[in-house]
Amino acid sequence: MGTVKCIGILTSGGDAPGMNAAIRAVTRSAIYNGFQVKGIYRGYEGLITGEIEDFKTQNVSNIIQQGGTILKTARSKEFKTPEGRQKAFENMQKEGIDALVVIGGDGSLTGARIFGEEFNIPCIGLPGTIDNDLYGTDSTIGYDTAMNTIIECVDKIRDTATSHDRLFFVEVMGRDAGFLALNSAIASGAEAAIIPEDRTDADQLEEFINRGFRKTKKSSIVIVAESPKDGGAMHYAERVKNEYPQYDVRVTILGHIQRGGRPTAHDRILASRLGCAAIEAIMEGQRNIMVGIQNNTIVYVPFIKAIKNDKTIDRSLIRVLDELSI
């Protein structure tokens, strides 16, 4: 593959606030540096079906403040097949796209890695997911906004929990990761967090009850990371109802409210910086990397490392939560 002239951009997987700011940054930085840009709709699906449009700077006007993604998104099953990727490659050739910027989470960057290697295409990934579960970046685009949405909701739940002396289990997203749960628990002053990273240890509910969670408090909030395996907040509420019938228990599942809304300043700045860095990476001849941020510095992380799913929870945060919830 020769010099890059035209860059395709797509968003894929679950949407995240700040994706639009990233689309804007990639588009404008690319145009500023003399590239042509094409917007690809509905993630890899649109690459397969040819839903592709020329992008000028006006296409990304007035979107930095909007949640969701103007390019729309999808989780493409067809792109997982060699035939699907072949169709995608043919469309790229037809459109004259010779490099791709993919904004998404784990699954989306896995797709970019396979596609990039298979067809020798420069693919650059930007971490876009509320889950913050990509290795090699301190924060993903959307994580801060989702966190702020969660604490705004939990603050409201706290009002009613206090009024009724109730124990609330609040379920938050995160797929297999507990970053949202643990950090939102600290930020909202919750009494405990039940997270997948801790699940191999003791029974977290048992621990919480044994610590005497109601010795000094009449109401409590426990943040539970979603988990299809463990049944999430509902499961814990049922257990408490059966084992400790003296407690008045309620459940709130925050759900997709966590994925929407105007991105915070943090996510807009992060998305803007990462978007510009993606174009810089292409100009440097980088390929098959995710652009991330570590200690406020832009870094390039090979896809293979970013998607290995071994971003660890800082266990000192568990202690902070325990100490502060007495």
**With CB under 6 A, what is the number of residues at the site for ligand F6P?**
10
Side by side, which strands form the sheet with 123-127? 52-55, 36-40, 6-11, 99-104, 123-127, 289-294, 297-302
For the bound state, the minimum distance from the C-beta of residue 15 to ligand F6P, rounded and expressed in Å, comes to 8
For the bound state, the minimum distance from the C-beta of residue 303 to ligand F6P, rounded and expressed in Å, comes to 17
Quick one: which segment of 30-38, 115-123, 170-178, 285-293 binds ligand F6P (CB under 6 A)? 170-178
Amino acid at residue number 107: G
125 close to 289: Cβ distance less than 8 angstroms: yes
Q: Which residue, 253 or 317, is less far from ligand F6P as judged by CB?
A: 253
Amino acid at residue number 38: K
Quick one: which segment of 21-29, 172-180, 243-251, 274-282 binds ligand F6P (CB under 6 A)? 172-180
* Residue 50, token pair as written in the block: 């040819």
Hey, which residues are catalytic here? 131
| Per CB under 6 A, 174 contacts ligand F6P | yes
Any idea what the Cα angle at residue 132 is, between residues 127 and 135, rounded to 5°? 70
Among 24, 113, 158, 259, binds ligand F6P (CB under 6 A): 259
DSSP 163-204: HHT-EEEEEE--TT--HHHHHHHHHHT-SEEE-GGGTTSS-H
Could you give the CA distance from residue 311 to residue 105 in angstroms, rounded to a whole number? 13
Locate all alpha helices (DSSP H) within the chain, ordered by sequence. 19-32, 43-49, 82-95, 106-119, 143-164, 179-188, 204-210, 232-243, 265-283, 303-306, 315-324
Q: Which residue, 67 or 105, is less far from ligand F6P as judged by CB?
A: 105
For the bound state, the minimum distance from the C-beta of residue 235 to ligand F6P, rounded and expressed in Å, comes to 16
118 close to 79: Cβ distance less than 8 angstroms: no
For the bound state, the minimum distance from the C-beta of residue 281 to ligand F6P, rounded and expressed in Å, comes to 24
Contact positions with ligand F6P (CB under 6 A) in 109-138: 129-131
Among 21, 25, 30, 173, binds ligand F6P (CB under 6 A): 173
Quick one: which segment of 58-66, 169-177, 193-201, 209-217 binds ligand F6P (CB under 6 A)? 169-177
| Per CB under 6 A, 175 contacts ligand F6P | yes
Could you give the CA distance from residue 323 to residue 326 in angstroms, rounded to a whole number? 6
- Spell out, one character per residue from 201 to 230, where the chain touches ligand F6P: x when CB under 6 A holds, - when not: -------------------------x----
Contact positions with ligand F6P (CB under 6 A) in 4-33: 14
For the bound state, the minimum distance from the C-beta of residue 130 to ligand F6P, rounded and expressed in Å, comes to 6
For the bound state, the minimum distance from the C-beta of residue 153 to ligand F6P, rounded and expressed in Å, comes to 15
Amino acid at residue number 323: E
Binding site for ligand F6P (CB under 6 A): 14, 105, 129-131, 173-175, 226, 259
